[in-house]
Amino acid sequence: MTTLSLLGATGSIGVNTLNVVRQYPQRFKVAAMAAGKNVQLFARQIREFKPELVSVLDDVRAVELRSLIPEFKGEILHGAEGNRTVATHGDSTLVLSAIVGAAGLLPTLAAIEAGKDIALANKETLVMAGRLVMESVRRKGVALLPVDSEHSAIFQSLAAGRREDLHKILLTASGGPFRGRNMAELADITPEQALAHPNWNMGPKVSIDSSTLMNKGLEVIEARWLFDVTAENIEVLVHPQSIVHSAVEFRDGSIIAQLGIPDMRLPIAYALSCPERMELGMKRLSLTDCGSLEFYKPDLKVFPALQLAFDAIAGGGVLPAVLNAANEVAVAAFLAGRLKYLQIAETVARTIDIVHDGREDELEAILAADSRARKEASHIIDSL
């Protein structure tokens, strides 16, 4: 039996992870869980899966959660220390890291240092500290299994050949809800419009990132570290149907891809059971029904966030962490109605111009750059 610690239990990845666990109770046990603000849902999850230890965002929600589940005899922790304790729970053998944003970095690093295998859905862990994380993975000898559908597809496709024969990673993007629009058409986009993703059901932050293509930029940085390639060996392709989840090209010209319906249970289940594949009772992909599959180059002028990510890789150091921090602040401001849609990328670019010094192999420098970038991005938003 695989014993899990789940970081981000009430988010879309966490909910789908528990859907998979629910199908295979004889194979998976949830020992510890962490969530954020949604204590009502979290209370229901705790009653069903009976973890030994849980954590929530803060002390106020910890008190609220205890009132909802008075029968729960385990510890209820909160905050960053609660996340770390969940991630390093002694009984867990696999930690599924699905906290959204920079908050996922420290508990994921703690889990690696504790010798836990990682199923990684928190792309910011590698965006912010890719070199440190991968060095820690190698030093501790743990497995790091991708959960993002694109990186799972690359991971699966690479099994068809030798790593030394890899020529290029083809990272697909749906294009989000605004594919094909020009800058003028994006000027007055509302949060409600940006949240309406055509193919995937995601949380608000990831949905906004998908619409700006920043999500794809973050995935490029993640792929650079996860698969030990340079940015020059990663090509982004807009694929509106979201059937080809990503592909790899080998040096002989062969392209190997992973296809499937757009449902996150597929990559989650593969990360939990790899190399075995579990029957999930889901709708299957019909190639005759899905029709034409289209691929386009992304428009970097209309969606500059993707170019900012490539520039951050090229600049190195703490720039990816700055990119991520500024984007988190800008997206939150857009969702709160304090920032226009096109100003998200503008805020990120201006923050990078201000905050750019620091080493990528020093955790303190990364965290300091993250903190300063958030302050500078907030100042920029206030000025706008």
| CATH code of the domain in which 379 resides | 1.10.1740.10
Does the residue 28 lie in any domain? yes
Q: Looking at the 3D structure of the chain, how many domains does it have?
A: 3
286 lies in the same domain as 200: yes
User: Are the beta carbons of 380 and 347 closer than 8 angstroms?
Assistant: yes
Q: What is the pLDDT of residue 326?
A: 98
Does the residue 237 lie in any domain? yes
134 lies in the same domain as 21: yes
Q: What is the pLDDT of residue 291?
A: 86
Q: Is 79 helix (H, G, I), strand (E, B) or coil?
A: helix
Q: What is the pLDDT of residue 196?
A: 87
201 lies in the same domain as 327: no
What is d(CA 44, CA 68) in angstroms, rounded to the nearest whole number? 9
352 lies in the same domain as 253: no
Percent of the chain with pLDDT over 70: 99
Q: What is the pLDDT of residue 202?
A: 74
278 lies in the same domain as 383: no
92 lies in the same domain as 40: yes
What is d(CA 64, CA 314) in angstroms, rounded to the nearest whole number? 46
Q: What is the pLDDT of residue 290?
A: 87
305-361: pLDDT as tens digits: 999 999 999 999 999 999 999 999 999 999 999 999 999 999 999 999 999 999 999
Measured from the Cβ of residue 304, the count of other Cβ atoms closer than 10 Å reads 22
Rounded to whole angstroms, what are the CA distances from 122 to 98, 103, 135, 140, 192? Answer: 5, 9, 17, 20, 24
What is the arithmetic mean of pLDDT over 267-292? 94
165 lies in the same domain as 224: yes
Q: What is the CATH number of the domain that holds 133?
A: 3.40.50.720
183-237: pLDDT as tens digits: 999 999 999 999 987 776 678 999 999 999 999 999 999 999 999 999 999 999 9
What is the arithmetic mean of pLDDT over 45-52? 97
208 lies in the same domain as 251: yes
326 lies in the same domain as 204: no
274 lies in the same domain as 321: no
Structural domain including 370 reads 316-384
Q: State which of 146, 167, 200 marks the end of a domain.
A: 146
Q: What is the pTM for the complete model shown?
A: 0.94
213 lies in the same domain as 104: no
